Structure 1
């Protein structure tokens, strides 16, 4: 009887091969799982890093916004501004950042903390969808008050003219001064009868007996002389402006524009005092400025819906040279200062028929005013920057105070 011939060595080799294959398969599986887990982990790390850098950039953007806002606004001692809460002293809007590469949106919280000589601005950005994503940046700034007027400078007289009055006034327009010895007019050319003829212009002293800043019945005194004064610096550009203001003209113009205080066309100029600082308006209108130019309903002592400004809350109105010399007429009353930048066109256009409690400033020659006009000198005190509610500051970032978390 023959027995099968089994090759034990071959059988052993087959088992070893199977074992090796199984081990390799296990190793490959482990490597695959490890690679997948590593890739997933790296993907998460990359995503987290991207969102961390994104939210940090958002915080930095909020910080720059906060510093920029501090350049133009006064701040109380401590205010916290977030997208859902805007207390007094905060920016009017805090925009949520959206459309980022990760699809996350971020909202800001700005905190202004006023110290002895600086303000700490802290910007925190936080994810809208994932509140765990957050970053903070802060910096210190120093605010310096910007002054429209030289401190202690008295209010301007009713008329300030870089040139001369080119036609003798007729029709008995009125100018009222607080003291018989006060100048009714200042000229950058000459304080003479030839340059500043009085004509039919009546000059009367008045006394604000009840201190309400309004010329009430019975407060008019006796007629007085047409006193003239002179200021130097003309005929340089903006010489009349420079004689009365400390701030550069373009600085004031730009800040009024940035504040949205530009008005043109009918139903555009709000009645009453300015609702926000600075109290500077740009009248971007060829005129005439009359009843149809006003908007809103106002009622207060000395104020109605045809009034610009208010007693002791005056406004500076700037008429840029691009608009020439529009007339102010009708029954408009203005508390403050009107400034005409044009150096030529007011010689042909004159003034109009409105009442001004304060001063009108021209950068050139002026034609005779019409009848029924009133130029009334007022005393707004020596702190004109506060009275005119300039409310403007410049903020400088203090080097070396940046910090992020």
Structure 2
């Protein structure tokens, strides 16, 4: 029995030992799984931290790049504003050689040309250093360099081309009739000491607001009014040169001709359409004087609110004003029309002639313009002037960022 009891006891403890061994295996496996899980979590955390750091670096790099871009745009705007002239940009003394490039011809703009107001910028949290460069062999090609520094750094380069542009400026011109006497003569009035060289009949001239009835380019002593009834001052040596240039200093005869043709076309179109159109410019020379028939003028033109200009240029001769014509505005003669009779015309404004005025017969009335008459303003073709300005353009495919 005792022997059998020992054997039974041995078999009794065997399951307990097996269970202990199984528990150790389970614990070891659990620890291994926990270790591997921890290792995976750590690895994942490290990757996440790396991605966050990489993202922050990308954001900082993008900010630095945008700051450098802002510096480039600021410099471009400064150049385009004309703050520095092409003459200054072309002056070699404003550029310093850096000894690089072929034959050492790379040049950086000096501080006097490209001052600190442009070269040192603060954009956001970044400091941006901007410099201007050129190659002395191609001085019209400039390169702007911008370096932004802060949490990250970025550099950008942009080349621009300097050039010139032809500009056209149109300036409106207005003739004010109140600024001139009712009679303007290049030369003098007639000399009554000579036969048939004296103003006869009963013409009259009355000054307007200017107080001057007659302006001549001759001396006051050379003006002999004859039978001309004058109310106002006779002013000698009132101007030099031609009467046209005195009255129309900014307007050419060609401009007046073109304006007359344009208004004639507009007048015809209005007539065909059954509407009204009031012309303010009439121009005649040898090419179209026959259109007025008999070379005499019978048409009333202008009004107190809208005075007109009637030009008889070289070759148009001396059309007479008769039939009681009423004109508000200015009448100009280029040919020698000093002995031209005006009949019973009434001109409120100015008679302008390029010859001595020696014969004004009949009962012509010349009245100077006054504020009570109307505005006295006549719109003339604008003056056209041309000039050159500097141009600035980005060179294609010259942008570099790094």
TM-score norm. by structure 1 comes to 0.43
Higher helix share: 2
